[in-house]
Amino acid sequence: MSLVRVIEIFDSLQGEGYWSGVPMSFVRLAGCNAEALGLACVRWCDTPQTWDERCGRELTVADIVSAVGLPRVCITGGEPFLQSAELACLVRELHKCGRKVHVETNGTVDPASLFASGGAETEPDWVVVSPKPPDYDVAADWSGSIDELKLVADEYLDTRLAERLSSLHPGAMVSVQPEWEGGREARERAVALVMAHPAWRLSLQIHKLLGLP
C-alpha cells in the first residue's frame, strides 16, 4: 500500500496561471529541495511549512482520492516529484475516478520515472513548471512535457532570462507572476515582460487577493 506524505487537502479556486478562477481540489505534498539546492526562492516562498519531508501526515492513496471532490485536482508542494513513485500511483488512481490532474513543480527533478511507470494513466493532464532563481535550471527530461511555464518576477528575472526559458520550452505557455512581496517594482517588471511578449500572460495570485486558501 502506497503511503504519501501530505501537508493538507483543501478545495479552493486556482489562483495562478492559465487556470486561474477554476475550482480545484488541492493536495499539498511534504518535502522540498529548494533549500538543499541553494535556490533563492526560499526568501519569498509562501509555503515554508512544506520544506521538511517529515512534516504533515502519511495517507494512503485511497484516503487522498476519497478526500477530493472536485473534477480537477492540483497536486503541489513543496516539490511533489520528491515522492515520485507515490505521485505516479496517486495520479493513476485519480484518473480512474475521472479526475483531471494538474501538477506543479520547480522542474529540478527528472520526471522520467513518473511518465514511464504507467503510460498515459500516470501522466498529469496539466504540468506547471516554475523554474527557480538564481539559475532557473530545469531537468532535461522535462523537454516537451511542460504545459505551462510560470515565471516569478523577482529581482533575478529579466528579459534575457525569461526569453531563454521560453525558447527552451517552445510548447509551453508562459505565465509571468509578480513576486508577492516585491511590491510595485515586481508588478511593473511582470507587466513590462508581458507587454513586450504578447503571447505571454500575466498571472496574479487571486487566492491571496480574495483571502482564500
What distance in Å separates the CA atoms of residue 23 and residue 73, rounded to the nearest whole number?
9
Strand order across the 100-105 sheet: 57-60, 3-13, 23-29, 72-76, 100-105, 126-129, 148-153, 173-178, 201-202
pLDDT of residue 117: 60
Q: For residue 45, what is the domain's CATH number?
A: 3.20.20.70
Question: How many distinct structural domains can be found in the chain?
Answer: 1
pLDDT of residue 112: 77
Average pLDDT over residues 13-23: 98
Domain of 62 in residue numbering reads as 3-209
Amino acid at 65: V
pLDDT-derived band of residue 1, with 50, 70 and 90 as boundaries? low
pTM for this model (two decimals) = 0.95
What distance in Å separates the CA atoms of residue 20 and residue 132, rounded to the nearest whole number?
21
pLDDT of residue 2: 77
Closest by Cα among 73, 68, 53 to 4:
53
Question: Does residue 120 surpass a pLDDT of 80?
Answer: no
Residues in the chain: 213
Closest by Cα among 106, 72, 75, 77 to 89:
75
Which grid coordinates belong to 161? 532570462
Q: Which residues in 198-212 are b (16+ Cβ under 10 Å) and which e?
A: eebbbbbbebeeeee
What distance in Å separates the CA atoms of residue 129 and residue 142, rounded to the nearest whole number?
9
| pLDDT tens digit sequence for 21-53 | 999 999 999 999 999 999 999 999 999 999 999
What percent of the chain is modeled with pLDDT above 70?
Answer: 96
Question: Are the C-beta atoms of 177 and 150 separated by less than 8 Å?
Answer: yes
pLDDT of residue 135: 92
Computed over every residue of the chain, the mean pLDDT equals 95
pLDDT of residue 115: 64
Average pLDDT over residues 85-96: 95
What distance in Å separates the CA atoms of residue 59 and residue 63, rounded to the nearest whole number?
6
| pLDDT tens digit sequence for 133-148 | 999 999 999 999 999 9
What distance in Å separates the CA atoms of residue 170 and residue 156, rounded to the nearest whole number?
22
Question: Does residue 118 surpass a pLDDT of 70?
Answer: no
